[in-house]
Amino acid sequence: MDELFSIPEVKSPRLKWMERHGIQVLHFPDLDTPEPYVATRYGKEVAKGGTAEWACYFAAKKLGLKTWNEEP
């Protein structure tokens, strides 16, 4: 046994939200841009952001979705 306690892995609310809405975030660190994170939905670019969280937020607003913080 390598662990003191056996704790199951739990996904964050944002990751669950991304899966539910078919959103992925890609990171392009080699690009010289202030927004290296790109949110895609079903393979099409939806939004960009300075962080993965901001890319998801901008994608939600563009798609008219409630964010992971706004959903019940």
The pLDDT of residue 6 is: 83
pLDDT recorded at residue 45:
96
CA angle, 31 then 24 then 72, to 5°: 130
What would the pLDDT profile of 41-57 be if each residue is shown by its tens digit?
A: 999 999 999 999 999 99
57 contact partners, CB below 8 Å, separation of at least 6? 49, 67
- Check residue 38 and give its pLDDT: 97
pLDDT higher than threshold 80 for residue 65: yes
Which two three-digit tokens encode residue 28? 């392009």
Give 53's Cβ-side CA count (13 Å radius): 5
Indicate the SS3 state at residue 9.
Answer: coil
Q: pLDDT band at residue 7, thresholds of 50, 70 and 90? A: confident
pLDDT of 24 strictly over 80:
yes
Domains in the chain: boundaries? 13-63
